[in-house]
């Protein structure tokens, strides 16, 4: 839609003619495309762009859920580590006091006291490191959630960890290749590339436009040929314009070749995305399965380590075990407790990462894990 208005002053003086007049004109025109295939294809590309933006938003939302969960479990793991180190320190302190008493009464040598003191000092250093690590993990969580003083709740023990359902890696891989946001974006990019090829091919096709115009010209003082004659001219036109491209210097052919090459690149990108997603999904699936087995093994190891510690304490009392045996059994028990707690967190986080890899992670999955925490 275009419009214009003009005003021209004319002063003519020559033999037999003396004219001084003003010409006023105004025009408006409009054009409505009736057939332009490139415009329709551009609209379809815009729709694909909206879908790609939604897929990008889904990917960002799922990534945020995983990062917050990771920071949350990092704090819990750091808290557990500090708690277990402090418990080990208390146990070693008791063993150190017992070794000193036994040395004073002459039932043990000074070696027991020095071994216990060395272990106590080592655990003290571990406590300082664990406390610092907890502070750092809390700061990371606070920064991520945008508030300070977050207090994550620990798992409610005993806990029944969720199993992988469906228990079939092929099903997870297929779901990932269909729903994962990265794959969806790559598939939409391929659609856009194919549409771009179709758009380039329309360079040879005609276009049809509906055109209309209306113009007014007013000469209040007449014209050079008809002075002093007030004239007004109105002109209205309506028509259909057909534009048929004949030759554009091979620009259309070269553009089609370019879009075909970009289409091949988009196909390769889609295949790469599918392979990467399949690999990530398999790794996450087997990681969760391995983690569940590791939790069961560590639960058995915790009981065995506790039994071994009790046996070593009894053996130390009756003289068949030395102090270092008890200290080593204590270290083994608390290390197993730390490993077990970390393994549980890894399983829970692994289930979220598996669903993220498959593109199905939602807030409901996080809330299901939240139900396993202390109320």
Residues paired with 273 in a beta bridge: none
Confidence of residue 90 (pLDDT cuts 50, 70, 90): very high
Q: How far apart are CA 312 and CA 308, in angstroms?
A: 6
* Ramachandran category for residue 209: left, alpha or beta (phi over 0 → left; psi -120 to 50 → alpha): beta
For residue 257, the tally of other CB atoms under 10 A from its CB is 13
Q: What is the pLDDT of residues 196-226, one digit of tens each?
A: 999 999 988 999 999 999 988 887 766 656 6
- In angstroms, how far apart are the furthest CA atoms of the chain? 147
The secondary structure element, H or E, covering residue 260 is: helix 251-318
**Claim to verify: residue 10 and residue 101 sit in the same structural domain:** no
**Claim to verify: residue 330 and residue 342 sit in the same structural domain:** yes
Task: Please identify, among 244, 270, 293, the residue that sits at the C-terminal boundary of a domain.
Answer: 244
**Claim to verify: residue 114 and residue 237 sit in the same structural domain:** no
As for how many domains the chain has, the answer is 2
Q: What is the pLDDT of residues 134-168, one digit of tens each?
A: 999 999 999 999 888 888 999 998 888 988 889 99
Q: How far apart are CA 325 and CA 312, in angstroms?
A: 6
**Claim to verify: residue 105 and residue 232 sit in the same structural domain:** no
**Claim to verify: residue 224 and residue 170 sit in the same structural domain:** no
Mean pLDDT computed over 286-313: 95
Which residue range(s) make up the domain with 92? Answer: 61-145+155-205+250-370
Q: 85, 127 in Cβ contact below 8 A?
A: yes
Judged against a pLDDT cut of 60, whether residue 245 lies above it is answered with: yes
**Claim to verify: residue 220 and residue 361 sit in the same structural domain:** no
Q: What is the pLDDT of residues 39-77, one digit of tens each?
A: 999 999 999 999 999 999 999 999 999 999 999 999 999
């Amino acid at each position: 839609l275009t419009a214009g208005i003009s005003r021209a002053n004319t002063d003519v003086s020559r033999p037999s003619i003396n004219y001084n007049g003003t010409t006023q004109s105004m025009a408006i025109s409009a054009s409505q495309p009736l057939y332009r295939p490139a415009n329709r294809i551009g609209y379809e590309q815009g729709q694909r762009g909206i879908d790609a933006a939604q897929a990008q938003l889904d990917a960002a939302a799922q990534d945020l859920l995983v990062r917050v969960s990771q920071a949350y479990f990092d704090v819990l793991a750091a808290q557990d580590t500090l708690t277990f180190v402090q418990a080990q320190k208390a146990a070693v302190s008791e063993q150190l006091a017992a070794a000193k008493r036994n040395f004073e009464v002459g039932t043990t040598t000074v070696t027991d006291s020095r071994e216990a003191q060395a272990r106590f000092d080592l655990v003290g250093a571990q406590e300082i490191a664990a406390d610092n690590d907890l502070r750092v993990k809390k700061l990371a969580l606070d920064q991520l959630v945008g508030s300070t003083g977050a207090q994550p709740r620990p798992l409610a023990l005993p806990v029944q960890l969720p199993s992988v359902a469906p228990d079939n890696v092929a099903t997870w891989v297929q779901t990932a290749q269909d729903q994962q946001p990265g794959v969806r974006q790559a598939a939409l990019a391929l659609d856009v590339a194919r549409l771009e090829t179709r758009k380039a091919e329309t360079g040879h096709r005609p276009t049809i436009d509906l055109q209309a115009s209306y113009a007014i010209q007013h000469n209040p003082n007449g014209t050079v040929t008809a002075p002093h004659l007030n004239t007004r001219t109105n002109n209205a036109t309506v028509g259909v314009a057909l534009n048929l491209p004949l030759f554009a210097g091979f620009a259309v052919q070269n553009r089609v070749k370019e879009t075909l090459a970009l289409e091949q690149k988009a196909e390769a990108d889609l295949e790469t995305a599918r392979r990467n997603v399949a690999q990530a999904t398999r790794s996450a699936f087997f990681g969760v399965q391995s983690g569940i087995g590791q939790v069961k093994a560590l639960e058995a190891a915790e009981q065995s380590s506790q039994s071994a510690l009790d046996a070593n304490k009894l053996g130390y009392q009756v003289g068949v075990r030395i102090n270092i045996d008890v200290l080593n059994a204590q270290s083994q028990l608390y290390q197993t407790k730390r490993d077990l707690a970390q393994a549980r967190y890894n399983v829970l986080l692994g289930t979220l990462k598996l669903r993220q890899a498959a593109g199905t992670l939602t807030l409901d999955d996080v809330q299901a894990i939240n139900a396993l925490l202390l109320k």
